[in-house]
Amino acid sequence: MSKLLEDNATKIIEILKKTYPDAQCSLNFKNPFELLVAVVLSAQCTDERVNKTTPAIFEKYNTPLAFSKIDIHELEQLIHPCGFYHTKAKNLKACAQKLVDDFNGEVPKTMEELTSLPGVGRKSANVIMLNAFNNPVGIAIDTHAKRICNRLGLSKETEPLKIEKDLLKILKKEYIKDANHLLVYHGRNLCTARNPKCIDCPLNKLCTYYQKSK
Ligand code: SF4
């Protein structure tokens, strides 16, 4: 990786930190298991909708043991607003059962263990490592992060894992935590999928996409 790319990545994160000083995880949760459930539900769904759905669930069920015993049809009803409720309910029940059987009813604290859980991929595991355990080991590459990294020229890859690898090579370690939140905020606010607000974007001088489009 070139020094120029590393310097650009540093500048980008510093600018985004000033632009979004309050960037943080937007899913509501009170413990690691609640976050795990919220993350599973957030696939193909907005965090806002997940936050509206989870309080009623967590009021009745908020431990792996309780989840492992829920009637699957009741769980489907409870999570229905978040979409893909058959698959999500099946994964959540299987995940809760595995937590009970293999992890003493606790959410594990390593990427390897987290990604062994049904319904938990690398992106979700990154979110849990950062927000539940304050131990960011990687960067969750969602649709926002993917788009922004490609536009800014930080990675030419299209696969999330490869984009994450590129970022981890050029980002200073102390920026990994911030990058997780900042890329999501920037994607929601300025670097939107359609009609990105490039004129107003504080990154436009560093952005390959914008510089080429002028
Ligand atoms: S200049 Fe445009 S494309 Fe580049 S990061 Fe900003 S909003 Fe996104």
Residue 107: which CATH number? 1.10.340.30
**Residue 165 in tokens:** 């690898």
75 in the same domain as 59: yes
Supply the CATH number for residue 166's domain: 1.10.1670.10
Q: Is residue 1 predicted with pLDDT exceeding 80?
A: no
Residue to probe by mutation, ligand 1, list 143, 204, 214, most atoms within 8 Å of CB? 204
Pair 66, 105 in one domain: yes
> Annotated catalytic residue: which of 98, 142, 146, 166?
142
Could you say which of 76, 110, 131 is where a domain stops? 131
Residues 41 and 124 in one domain: yes
Separation CA 38–CA 47 (nearest Å): 8
Letter for the amino acid at 49?
Answer: R
pTM of the shown model? 0.93
Query: Same domain for 115 and 69?
Result: yes
Residue that terminates a domain, selected from 131, 153, 184: 131
Q: What tokens does 158 get?
A: 């299209």
Query: 105 CA distance to ligand 1 centroid (A)?
Result: 43
76 and 122 fall within a common domain:
yes
Counted domains in the chain: 2
In the chain, alpha helices (H): 3-19, 32-41, 47-60, 64-69, 72-79, 85-102, 111-114, 122-131, 143-152, 160-170, 176-189, 208-213
Question: Are 170 and 88 found together in one domain?
Answer: no
Identify whether residues 159 and 111 lie together within a single domain. no
CA of 82 to the centre of ligand 1 (A): 29
- pLDDT, residue 211, reads 93
What is the average pLDDT across 87-105?
98
Q: Could you give the C-alpha distances from 183 to 23, 171, 207, in angstroms and in order?
A: 9, 13, 14
User: What is the C-alpha to C-alpha distance for residues 53 and 59, in angstroms, rounded to an integer?
Assistant: 11
CA-196 nearest atom, ligand 1:
7
Of 98, 115, 131, which residue is a domain's last?
131
Same domain, 20 and 36: no
| Number of Cβ atoms within 10 Å of the Cβ of 48 | 11
Active site residue 200: no
* Ligand 1, residues at Cβ distance < 6 Å: 148, 151-152, 190-191, 196-198, 201, 203-204, 207, 209-210
pLDDT confidence of 198, banded at 50, 70, 90?
A: very high
For residue 197, which atom of ligand 1 is closest to its CA? 7
User: Could you say which of 88, 93, 123, 146 is catalytic?
Assistant: 123
> What is the pLDDT, as a whole number, of residue 180?
95
Residue 80 and residue 166 in one domain? no
Nearest ligand 1 atom, CA 151: 3
Q: Please tell me whether residues 112 and 187 are part of one structural domain.
A: no
> What is the distance between the alpha carbons of residues 106 and 96, in angstroms, rounded to a whole number?
9
Give the pLDDT confidence score for residue 177 in this predicted structure: 94
Same domain for 113 and 45 = yes
- 14-38 pLDDT, tens digit per residue, is 999 999 999 999 999 999 999 999 9
The average confidence (pLDDT) of the chain is: 96
pLDDT above 70: residue 160: yes
Q: What is the pLDDT of residues 65-87, one digit of tens each?
A: 999 999 999 999 999 999 999 99
Q: Which residues contact 85 (CB under 8 A, 6 or more apart)?
A: 76, 79
102 is catalytic: no
User: Residue 210 above 90 pLDDT?
Assistant: yes
The pLDDT of residue 214 is 79
Residues 84 and 149 both lie in one domain:
no
Q: Which domain holds residue 180?
A: 3-24+139-213
